[in-house]
Chain A
Amino acid sequence: GEEKRQTYIVHMAKSRRPSTFAEHGHWYDASLRSVSSSAEILYSYDTVAHGFSARLTTAEAQALESLDGVLSVLPEVRYELH
């Protein structure tokens, strides 16, 4: 079976976008695609964070972490109402 996926928030260094990508979204997509052929971006963040969230396997998350321009790969956290 397919390894279990969970959501990760991937923080990217916006200024490290390779010039080959005209838009950050293309860079995020290519970064994700380089570690997973099937994962989809849930959200792209551009105002208070730079990066995206996606469902990844542990191995894919670790692979992303090692890519140039990736600052951190944080697993989804569940918050609760107070």
Chain B
Amino acid sequence: TTRTPEFLGLDKSDDLVPQANTGSDVVVGVLDTGVWPERKSFDDTGFGPVPAGWKGACEEGKDFKATDCNRKLIGARFFSKGYEASMGPIDETRELRSPRDSDGHGTHTSTTAAGSAVTDASLLGFAAGTARGMATRARVAAYKVCWVGGCFSSDILAAIDRAVDDGCHVLSLSLGGGMSDYYRDSVAIGAFNAMEKGVLVSCSAGNSGPSASSLSNVAPWITTVGAGTLDRDFPAYVVLGNGKNYSGVSLYSGKPLPSSPLPIVYAGNASNATGGNLCMPGTLMPEKVAGKIVLCERGISPRVQKGYVVRDAGGAGMILANTDANGEELVADAHLLPANGVGEKAGDAIKRYLLSEMSPTATIVFGGTKVGVRPSPVVAAFSSRGPNVVTPEILKPDLIAPGVNILAGWTGAVGPTGLSVDSRRVEFSIISGTSMSCPHVSGLAALLKGAHPDWSPAAIRSALMTTAYADYPGGNGGLLDVATGKAATPFDYGAGHVDPRRGMDPGLVYDLTADDYIDFLCALNYTSLQIAAVAKRTNYTCDRKRTYAVSGLNYPSFAVAFETASGDRVGVATVKHTRTMTSVGGPGTYKATVATAVTGGEVKVAVEPAELSFTKVGEKQSYTVSFSAPSLPSGSSGFGRLEWSDGKHVVASPIAFTWT
């Protein structure tokens, strides 16, 4: 990626990874659409032999040879048996029965996580710079599990099985499949046993935001990653005939529009079809759009396809307006014709103009790449949100990372729009999604693994979470949510935005073992069979004499659920959580501070003890937090933050309160 290394402070990576070759034995496995191995991001210059003990392979298949792997891309496999059993034989005119990526998504995610540095990278001149993955020294192994018709659980589980056996240290999965109990979820099952073998599993949170309770991949042994913006934009401006100017975004890079304004038409008035405003294939009347700029609205069909539909009908340009489903979130696309994506407000204003004028006109001016955009990051509207439906007492997502307009490596099989009519071929492309934020965290986890090989997956996640930031420099009310324009909450960003420089030296971590997670399953009243299905422990029975509590899981965040009192009872409920911190920074005395913000009532928080002293690395200290709250109406929520600091480190945990 370009820009994200600077945005995350990785351009000063000598500080992050003191020993030049630290991390070169870390392998990031990416389960996705495969890989395009010829990309410069997989250049293995400077890499030594593959790590000892690596059992992976470079599987041959259609247009893919064993020699396509090297010392950077050390493994490539494909898993299609489940897909083909359900969907029929692979159509080799559309996709390849091999690890080769005919989609682009997998090349994008794998290069984001651990691509080598490539100078002079850009997409058609946009986002120019040196592109690199988060962990440039880490090795990559690609496991192709996603096909044109989807990603099937039998293939995914087989790939996790193989990736762990091959020797991957971090697994990156930018995919999801709704919400289900952990014992029914193949990703959760695979991730549990990967975790038990020391493998960190990072998954995307989903793109179903800003709706509440829209998360996927919420098992507590998974690192769940939401998405935020960078400080980079690709501005384009719509200049109307009345002189008014509206800004949007565009990655169009071709012949510009004529300097004189063109007629502009609302797609809904240039179509006889129901929903003509959406510019669906075959719905625009050429005689009404020829030579004009067409205002289309988002929905149903892919954004880039709408551009093609306008071009195919003879339109000269397109303004693609958000609706209330997208609000003001601007996602840039490399359209096939001059186009500009605008927010809902601008779209409404442009529509009012062109519907009120006899001869409305407009033009689009392209502004290239702009960096230093403030505020940034803001939570992406599409990023899935909590609360966690499966286990409300576990706060998810865990954190956010860059996921909007991310440049990274691309397939050679399709152009940057992915449309079959797009004959352009690019080394890099720019796309958005929690798919893009997930491999950022996977790569950063690989960096931490390289620097701290003895840290468990939970310790690495804890380091990334407790050092994440939830406010802008100077502190002015917290990270914003692009969906509302207002302050976001831990249900949107979890612990906050990842800050790898601080994550490298967190001071303390909240560690967890597989046994701790099994206690968690006992707290959920899982049966022996269900525990066995998740954790492969046959005949395991939870101890009837023990009191298991989800609040006892040593998680780096707090989700506190209060019950709403019924009838006339107006009592104060107290919920206690216990945690244990392990020193990874050496001697220090940490003091706790808590801040809360709850509308309609006050939550009192008591930390006992409020001061903890550590004398050496590895030492553990426990504390209890008591949350006391009045009864509030069901559906109420509030938030807070608990910080432990020794003056050098700040170990922060988000708190979310809910009343049910």
Contacts and interface: CB of A to CB of B under 8 A. Distances in A.
A81 B153 CA distance: 13
A81 B186 CA distance: 15
A16 to B, nearest CB: 6
A81 B32 contact: yes
A9 B154 contact: yes
Interface in A33-81: 42-43, 45-50, 53, 55, 71-72, 74, 76-81
Contact of B532 (A13, A42, A48, A76): A13
Contacts of B193: 47-49
Contact of A43 (B158, B176, B204): B158
A71 B177 CA distance: 22
A12 B164 CA distance: 19
B177 A77 contact: yes
Given A47-B193, A49-B190, A74-B184, A81 B157 contact: no
* Most central of B32, B152, B176 by chain A CB within 10 Å: B152
B189 A49 contact: yes
A78 B529 contact: no
B165 interface: yes
Interface in B204-238: 204-207
Nearest to A5: B85
B169 to A, nearest CB: 14
B536 A76 contact: no
Contacts of A55: 85
B398 to A, nearest CB: 15
Nearest to B382: A82
Interface string B94-117: 000000000001000000000000
A80 B86 contact: no
Contacts of A6: 86
Contact of A79 (B175, B189, B205, B532): B175
B160 A48 contact: yes
A42 B155 CA distance: 9
B152 A45 contact: no
Contacts of A42: 81-82, 85, 154
Given A7-B154, A49-B536, A79-B176, A72 B160 contact: no
A60 to B, nearest CB: 14
What size tier do the contact residues of chain B reach? 35 or more
B194 interface: yes
Contacts of A71: 529, 532-533, 538
Given A7-B82, A53-B157, A55-B85, A77 B186 contact: yes
B162 A47 contact: yes
B189 A78 contact: no
A47 B82 contact: no
Given A11-B533, A76-B86, A79-B175, A49 B152 contact: no
Contacts of B153: 9, 74, 76-79
* Most central of B178, B205, B538 by chain A CB within 10 Å: B538
A7 B157 CA distance: 13
* Most central of A43, A49, A79, A80 by chain B CB within 10 Å: A79
B151 A53 contact: no
Interface stretch (B306-314, B433-441, B623-631): B433-441
A11 B154 CA distance: 11
A14 B184 CA distance: 18
Contacts of B433: 81-82
Nearest to B156: A79
Contact of A49 (B149, B161, B205): B161
A43 B177 contact: no
Contact of A7 (B85, B146, B184, B533): B85
A13 B206 CA distance: 32
A15 interface: yes
Given A7-B86, A47-B164, A81 B154 contact: no
B150 interface: yes
A55 B152 CA distance: 13
A48 B174 contact: no
* Most central of A7, A47, A55 by chain B CB within 10 Å: A47
Contacts of B434: 82
A48 B533 contact: no
A50 B537 CA distance: 11
Contacts of A16: 538
Contacts of B161: 43, 45-49
Contacts of B539: 13, 15
A43 B146 contact: no
B33 interface: yes
A43 to B, nearest CB: 4
B183 A72 contact: yes
A55 B177 CA distance: 20
Interface in B28-45: 32-33
B162 to A, nearest CB: 7
Contacts of A49: 157, 161, 186, 189-190, 193, 536
Nearest to A8: B154
A75 B151 CA distance: 14
B187 interface: yes
A50 B536 contact: yes
Contacts of A80: 150-151, 175-177
Contacts of A7: 82, 85-86, 152, 154
B164 A79 contact: no
A81 B175 contact: yes
Contacts of B438: 82
* Most central of B187, B207, B533 by chain A CB within 10 Å: B533
A79 B157 contact: no
A41 to B, nearest CB: 9
B536 A53 contact: no
B98 to A, nearest CB: 18
A11 B192 CA distance: 14
Contact of B186 (A9, A14, A82): A9
A42 B157 CA distance: 12
B8 to A, nearest CB: 20
B186 A74 contact: yes
Interface string B42-85: 00000000000000000000000000000000000001011001
A48 B152 contact: no
A53 B189 CA distance: 14
Given A43-B154, A76-B152, 6 more contacts: A13-B539, A42-B154, A48-B191, A49-B190, A74-B184, A79-B187
The 3 closest A-B pairs by CB, nearest first: A48-B193, A79-B177, A53-B154
5 contacts: A15-B539, A42-B85, A48-B160, A79-B152, A82-B434
Interface of A: 6-7, 9, 11, 13-16, 42-43, 45-50, 53, 55, 71-72, 74, 76-82
